[in-house]
Structure 1
């Protein structure tokens, strides 16, 4: 599945508001879908790059021999999901950033769908 198809699949997840595929080495997004006036996905992608880098640094400092599957930030009205792309065929510095409306989303199903999309993504 290419980037555009993956972003469309992400937007089909119940409650999806916006999504970006982001390179955390550069902080740049490779593609976005959704968003709107109140959700600047380019800015959010760059900001969440710092979240990923910080967590990776902490894991390194603690000498944890593990990898991040996803990071979840819960707000009162939204879920912000960061799913690191770990598929062997994809560069390891990418993550999917998905914003969900909390009232409409099913968190477990959204995580399941992001994992499926990650596995099918080809960059």
Structure 2
């Protein structure tokens, strides 16, 4: 249903360096690009992607209160690796990897972080009951 999600940045080269490295860890690369304005990443052109853009109105990029982009991965190990890479690249923690609710042993496994511009992201997977 969703083709891609866009988040704003005030520093496109810095944001692109962050997402180039982060998304490389899950096999995603750039699939659309308009120089000095917009870049989008996905695993393929037929999958949902994430884009970073300088705001169209040329005002400072701001973070949407309550807005979050979720990246689906296959395993808890992949979630942890993605989250750790985001922090290594300068992102900040918004919730360490683990099950939600925290006392669960299956179901929704997630980690939350913010990118360099303060946009909130989540990496998650669904873990079946054993």
The TM tier, using the shorter chain, reads under 0.3
Which one has the bigger strand percentage?
Answer: 2
Which structure has the greater CA radius of gyration?
A: 2
Bigger proportion of residues as helix:
1
- Normalised TM-score (structure 2): 0.26
